[in-house]
Structure 1
Amino acid sequence: MTDELPDDFEVPDDLSSLLDGSDEEPSVVLVITQVAQPAPLAAACAIAKVDVDVVPTPIGAIAVLRDPRAAADGAGAISKLLRTLPVILLERREGQITATRWTAGEQGDQLPAGLVLSEAPAVLEDLLLGSVQAGEVEGVMTSVGMSRWQAMRLIAKRR
């Protein structure tokens, strides 16, 4: 038996592209914030037209983006809303988790994902690994379907 390669098989000159998952779309995208409650964050995201489900945690509300392909836009919009408070964008691609700091709408430095996850609540890891969906977490709020008027009222009520 002879193992033959197909005629169109090519070995790339630079093998690093085989290890780099950056071209792959993320399957899960979370934005970790310091916002204490999910309602104001969901309302702010509704105003910014970012589709998220916001999960409460002891460290702050976590925005789970409905469209993982919009990771940079979502993190940028959320960090712009929170102005001076940094947020952390966590992206899961097959076999790899990346963490990036965002402040005032600008992407910052890469963070070691293991360090970010080391002291994180269990729900964060569950969401990131996909073992729990955001809608299954108690206290979740969504920005989807929230009108601008409802969002403004929710924010005013929380002040």
Structure 2
Amino acid sequence: MSEKDDGRRGSSQDPEGERHLTDEEIEAALAGFEEELNADDDGASRPDDGASANTTEQDHQASDPQTSGDASGEGIDFDDELEGLIGNKAKIATLITRLSSGELLAAFCRLAGIDADCIDTPEGAFAVLRALDGDEPETCARDLTSVVSGLSAVLAVNRADKLEATLWLNGHAGESFSPPVLFASTSSCVEDLLIGASNLSMVQVDGYSVSDTDELSDESAMAIIARHTRSGSGGHAAGTANE
């Protein structure tokens, strides 16, 4: 568990009487799932292996700043837009996994203290992060992959209309991927969100299921994880058959 989680779970009960799970309870619940992840041979959330040999760290011009922005055309805050243009605040940041369920990813994010909307796609679930200032997206990637040992995730961030994609595993950043390689192995809605051609409302209208971490408690998050372990009722990786 990260220091962030230790601080968040310093006591088992908040002033209003709501019980919070201890680190020991959370680690016990995750133990079986982590064993399954570590036993997998499919490379978890890495983009397509055939294309990864061509990966290099590249900047990608996502869209024309004069035409990009909120696809709905509403609710654009000038200060936020300015911070996004100069790169102090990411325009959008996503954590892309091979998990088969956005609900499961939301449960992991909840236990890692990450605020996000998690979306189901056939290629794997991904999280749209709400923490966008400075290096907050990188902190989220570190925390998620530290809390769930063996879970890898690609952090894709749009800063000042430049896309960066980096693989994270066990709390550490790894190799970087060019946007074309990343988009070749993800749902089209991932690219649309990252370049500003879509937003969460449009994603939901298109029929994708979205799970909000704010709607979960620690207990409900652990119940979701229990349902998705192989000892429960479902598998965990996209394309992995249930036993």
The two structures have a TM-score, normalised by structure 1, of 0.78
Match 2:212 to one of 110, 118, 142: 142
What's the counterpart of residue 37 of structure 1?
Answer: 101
Contact 2:87/2:159 (8 A) holds in 1:
no
Residue deviations 1:30-53, cap 9 Å, x none? 011011111111011111110010
Residue type of the alignment partner of 2:152: P
Q: Which has the larger radius of gyration?
A: 1
Distance in 2 (alpha carbons) for counterparts of 1:118 and 1:39: 24
Match 1:77 to one of 140, 143, 158: 143
Deviates more, 1:32-41 or 1:110-119: 110-119
What's the counterpart of residue 3 of structure 1?
Answer: none
Distance in 1 (alpha carbons) for counterparts of 2:86 and 2:165: 13
Give the share of equivalent positions with the same residue, in percent. 27
Root mean square deviation of aligned Cα: 2.0
Residue type of the alignment partner of 1:63: A
Distance in 1 (alpha carbons) for counterparts of 2:147 and 2:123: 19
Contact 1:54/1:134 (8 A) holds in 2:
no
After TM superposition, give the deviation of residue 22 of structure 1 in Å.
9.0
What's the counterpart of residue 16 of structure 1?
Answer: none
Question: Is the aligned partner of 1:130 residue 2:200?
Answer: no
Distance in 2 (alpha carbons) for counterparts of 1:85 and 1:147: 21
Match 1:158 to one of 205, 228, 235: 228
The two structures have a TM-score, normalised by structure 2, of 0.53
Deviates more, 1:130-139 or 1:85-94: 130-139
What's the counterpart of residue 181 of structure 2?
Answer: 115
After TM superposition, give the deviation of residue 84 of structure 1 in Å.
2.1
After TM superposition, give the deviation of residue 23 of structure 1 in Å.
5.4
What's the counterpart of residue 41 of structure 2?
Answer: none
Contact 1:80/1:105 (8 A) holds in 2:
yes
Residue type of the alignment partner of 2:214: V
Contact 1:58/1:121 (8 A) holds in 2:
yes
Gaps of 5+ in 1: 1-20
Distance in 1 (alpha carbons) for counterparts of 2:109 and 2:151: 15
Contact 1:45/1:52 (8 A) holds in 2:
yes
Residue type of the alignment partner of 1:64: V
Match 1:48 to one of 86, 103, 112: 112
Deviates more, 1:72-81 or 1:55-64: 72-81
Contact 1:55/1:134 (8 A) holds in 2:
no
**SS of structure 2 residue aligned to 1:101:** strand
Distance in 1 (alpha carbons) for counterparts of 2:223 and 2:150: 23
